[in-house]
Amino acid sequence: RMSRHARQLRDHDINPCVAETDASRKCMDDNNYNKDMCTAYFLKYKSCRKFWHDIMMQRKRNGVKPEMPSAEERKKMLESMG
């Protein structure tokens, strides 16, 4: 059984970077945990986290709730950016 924290990390409405997390983990598994082989995946994850963190902080400053947009809302935001 997953802990509450682990469930939240898997929840697309809470964690906008589930796909990047999974890709990084898979790369590590596939490359016998050689981090050098997975740098591109780590950078994608890091930029995902930074991007959504910045949006969350902006929404917080503007009093928008919830601070993290839902998965559906994030999808629309990304599509509108092209």
Sorted by where each begins, the domain ranges of the chain are 4-80
**Sign of the Cα pseudo-torsion (65, 5, 22, 39, in order):** positive
Alpha-carbon span 39 to 49, nearest angstrom: 15
pLDDT tens profile 16-46: 999 999 999 999 999 999 999 999 999 999 9
CB-facing half-sphere around the CA of 11: CA atoms within 13 A: 12
* Model pTM score: 0.84
Alpha-carbon span 21 to 17, nearest angstrom: 6
| DSSP states of 25-36 | HHHHHHTTT-GG
pLDDT tens profile 54-68: 999 999 999 999 999
